[in-house]
């Protein structure tokens, strides 16, 4: 999946709609209990935002090795959250799979523009998750 300035909001909405649709089909009216919580997504966004603040002040389009290392560590944290999700519903796994977060993080590379776009995509995911019935924890 590729995102850009013109489609990242639509892609985020599509991913959340798909997650909600799948949960409704599987679990019926109790589907909200089977989705990843808004709080969990916010925790992932907090890590993303931390790096985002550093990226914004970066003068170059090519990110420093230090920032790239932090982005790689962020990818590791997403993989960790994915791996530790042993719930029957696979809440975090489904979220990461449907939203293509790991793929998009790899595509950031060393580019400031790509990381900013990724951060905006994460914010859009939270907004649509809440809009379409995501539950707080």
Angle at 55 between CA 104 and CA 17, to 5 degrees: 35
Q: What is the pTM of this model?
A: 0.91
Q: What is the pLDDT of residues 10-59, one digit of tens each?
A: 999 999 999 989 888 888 877 777 788 888 888 888 989 999 999 999 99
Residue matched to tokens 């994915």: 82
Region 124-134 average pLDDT: 87
CA gap 54, 115 in Å, rounded: 11
Cβ neighbour number for residue 41 with a 10 Å cutoff: 21
Given pLDDT bands bounded at 50, 70 and 90, which one contains residue 120?
very high
User: To 5 degrees, how large is the angle CA 54–CA 100–CA 40?
Assistant: 65
């Amino acid at each position: 999946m590729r995102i850009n300035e013109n489609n990242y909001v639509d892609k985020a909405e599509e991913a959340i709609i798909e997650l909600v649709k799948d949960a409704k089909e599987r679990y019926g009216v109790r589907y909200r209990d089977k989705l990843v919580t808004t709080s969990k997504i916010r925790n992932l966004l907090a890590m993303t935002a931390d790096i985002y603040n550093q990226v914004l002040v970066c003068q170059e389009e090519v990110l420093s090795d230090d920032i790239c290392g932090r982005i790689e560590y962020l990818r590791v944290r997403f993989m960790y959250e994915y791996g530790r999700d042993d719930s029957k519903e696979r809440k975090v796994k489904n979220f990461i799979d449907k939203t293509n977060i790991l793929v998009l993080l790899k595509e950031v590379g060393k580019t400031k523009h790509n990381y900013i776009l990724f951060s905006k995509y994460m914010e859009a995911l939270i907004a649509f998750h809440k809009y379409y019935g995501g539950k707080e924890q």
